[in-house]
Amino acid sequence: MSVKIFLPVFLFHTKKDCDIYGEIQINENNAISYYIIAHQDYQSASQSNLRHLGHIVRAGPTSALQHRDVAVTFAYDGDTPNIYLLKLSIKPSNTTQVNVFLYDVPKMLQLYEYSVSYETNKSDTIAAERNGEEETDQCNDVVLLCRLLNENHKQNKVHKVTIFSILQKLLFLLPNLITYLLIILLEYKPVKTLMQKTSIYGHFLEWRRLDATGKRKLNVTVDKILGVSVMIFLLFYVSQSGDYLLATSHWVIQKLRLLLRSLKGSPIGLKLNEHLNNFLLDCFNYHIDLWAKFLDLIEPIVRQLFVPIAMLGFIGISFQLASLPMLMSIIGLHAHCFYIYTAVLYKVEIRGIQVLWKVMLGKRYNVLKNRVESHNYVNRQLYLATIFFTSLLFLFPTVLVYYVVFTTLRLCIYMVNLVVEVLRRKILEFPLLSLLKWTIGKFCDMESIHIAHMQHLPSPLLQPQNMQISMSVFKLSIQKSPLSRVFSCESGILQEFKSDEKMSIKNAFTRMLKGTF
């Protein structure tokens, strides 16, 4: 049996009678932990939210107190600089070891934010691996101690209305109101059905989940401040911001026409099929002309498109970044269509060559037996297969060139969208508050806890001779964590959104070869 007592460091040297309050926990290894959280004088009101554990009394008149029904009693005298254990409610064996851990209350309160994430992550990884190691138990004790201290601190905290709090509420009154209106709007079923495939709605789900946890309040605040700043810049300092979108769209159209002209003839020395090449160029040029006329038709709408995007700054700059993929879809819709056309042709070519190659080898695929087996084709079938195979084979370089060009273009658009997605997520996930705490020396985590043995004077009134208890005193000190620990502290809220196995490099390359990227 082991007994652990967590005691505030200032109570270890107290010379005043008081009651002590806290909690008791007995784990599955038969180890008892006493968490002493608060103390009160005898004349003061008791802590209603905590359990009364015992007393700290003068060593002289303690004979009557030893028989009281309390969990633990400490005593002090004029000669001993520290208090010592006088009584435990349990009847320990001869091998019982009592470890007293002294902690600093403000430092432990700083650990609370990290201990919450530690407890959440630990429950997922260690729930199936209960090995009972001493280091893990110690971390669990510290986590519980931090939570008890934080709950007691919240209940005893006096909420004062200051000028700063009033200004803060007034400053974010309009952004918060617009945020609530957006939440109601996006939860409306017709709007939800229309928007659920867009990047803005996907970011809204991530933002709302992160905001509900309350772990990145500073990030959300900075997000709104940056969004309002960008909104003011776009609305008041940029004249005709919609013209930039139109100019960018026409610039993309010009570059695509230049790209198509470069594919005419024999690009980079490749001998392409002249008729198929001219047919594809005519189709793509017609598509570009059609899109250019459509842009001229919707020009008044496009000019005002930056207004709702700028108004998203009330919610945060991350929502403005989430709207950029939609703008890129408008600007590069024709490029996306070109990729679809060439991908379909590429898949038809690949599939046709594979099937006709089996025919030329005198084989076929047996659907019932799920295998490739030999088959005797008639001459007419072999003749037609040879003609089609030769035609597809000679047309394949032309289709392949177009597919590679427009797949590369689509890959570039995807990479830009990926950079924007990573940036908007980093705005919410970046440990900004932890970095600020680290700069002023107040950031600490579980790995920054150090345990040091302390010398203490033996107790003159500890226990009778037949119930000797070995007592050791340790001090929990918290040192400054390295900067690498700051950037390793992730909230974990957006982790499931980040994991997309389909977009790994290997799978993306495989999908490109199959024409399904």
pLDDT tens across 388-397, in order? 988 888 999 8
Examine residue 190 and state whether it is found in any structural domain, yes or no: no
- Gap between the Cα atoms of 328 and 333, Å rounded: 8
Instruction: Give domain status of residue 316, yes or no.
Output: yes
**pLDDT reported for residue 342:** 92
Residue 234 to residue 468: CA distance in whole angstroms: 77
**Pairing label, strands 2-8, 31-40:** parallel
**Does one domain contain both 129 and 262?**
no
Residues 6+ apart with CB under 8 A from 347: 514, 515, 516
pLDDT for res 427: 87
452 strand-pairing partners:
475
Interhelix angle 134-156/112-125, rounded to 10 degrees, is 140
261/328 same-domain check: yes
State the pLDDT confidence band at 123, using cuts at 50, 70 and 90. Answer: very low
Distance CA 331, CA 251 (A): 10
Residue 210 included in any domain: no
Same-domain pairing of 427 and 465: no
In a domain, 9, yes or no: yes
Q: What are phi and psi of 482, to 5 degrees?
A: -70, 160
Question: What residues contact 513, with CB distance under 8 A and at least 6 apart?
Answer: none
Q: What is the pLDDT of residues 162-189, one digit of tens each?
A: 565 666 666 666 666 777 777 777 777 7
CA 437 to chain centre: 20
Residue 42: band (very low, low, confident or very high) from pLDDT cuts 50, 70, 90: low
Residues 17 and 87 in one domain: yes
What region does 371 belong to: left with phi over 0, alpha with psi -120 to 50, or beta?
beta
For residues 268 and 382, state if they share a domain: yes
Residues 374 and 456 in one domain: no
According to DSSP, the β-strands at 72-76 and 470-478 are unpaired
- pLDDT on residue 91: 66
Q: Which two tokens stand for residue 39?
A: 């103390």
How does the average pLDDT of the chain come out, rounded?
77
Does residue 107 or residue 179 have the better pLDDT?
Answer: 107
Question: Once rounded to an integer, what is the mean pLDDT over residues 480-498?
Answer: 64
Residue 414 contacts residue 502 (beta carbons within 8 Å): no
Most confidently predicted of 59-63, 314-318, 369-373, 467-471:
314-318
CB 343: neighbour CB atoms within 10 A? 20
Alpha helices in 317-429 (DSSP H): 317-322, 324-331, 333-360, 379-429
Domain co-membership, 373 together with 248: yes
Structure tokens at 79: 């000669």
Question: 165 is written with which tokens?
Answer: 């709090």
Q: What residue numbers bound the domain in which 252 lies?
A: 237-432+496-514
Q: Note whether 413 and 465 are same-domain residues.
A: no
| pLDDT over threshold 70, residue 119 | no
In-domain check, residue 310: yes
The answer to whether residues 449 and 381 belong to one domain is: no
Tokens found for residue 228: 């309002």
> Minimum mean pLDDT among 72-81, 324-333, 357-366, 496-505: which range?
496-505
Q: What is the pLDDT of residue 53?
A: 86
Residue 463 lies in a domain: yes
Query: What is the pLDDT, as a whole number, of residue 161?
Result: 53
In a domain, 299, yes or no: yes
Same domain, 468 and 386: no
The per-residue b/e assignment along 60-73, b for 16 or more CB within 10 angstroms, e otherwise, is: eebeebeeeebbbb
Report the domain count for the chain.
2
Residue 129 lies in a domain: yes
- pLDDT computed for residue 422 by the predictor: 86
Name, in order, each residue with C-beta under 8 angstroms of 436's C-beta and a sequence gap of 6 or more.
218
State whether 428 and 449 are in the same domain: no
For residue 65 the two structure tokens come to 């107190």
* DSSP letters for 187-232: HSHHHHHHHTTSHHHHHHHHHHHHHHHTTTHHHHHHHHHHHHHHHH
Instruction: Tell me, yes or no, whether 453 and 425 share the same domain.
Output: no
Q: How many CB atoms lie within 10 A of CB 293?
A: 9
- DSSP assignment string, 82-120: S-EEEEESS---TT-EEEEEEE-HHHHHHTHHHHHHHHH
DSSP letter (8 states) at residue 236: I
The amino acid at residue 149 is L
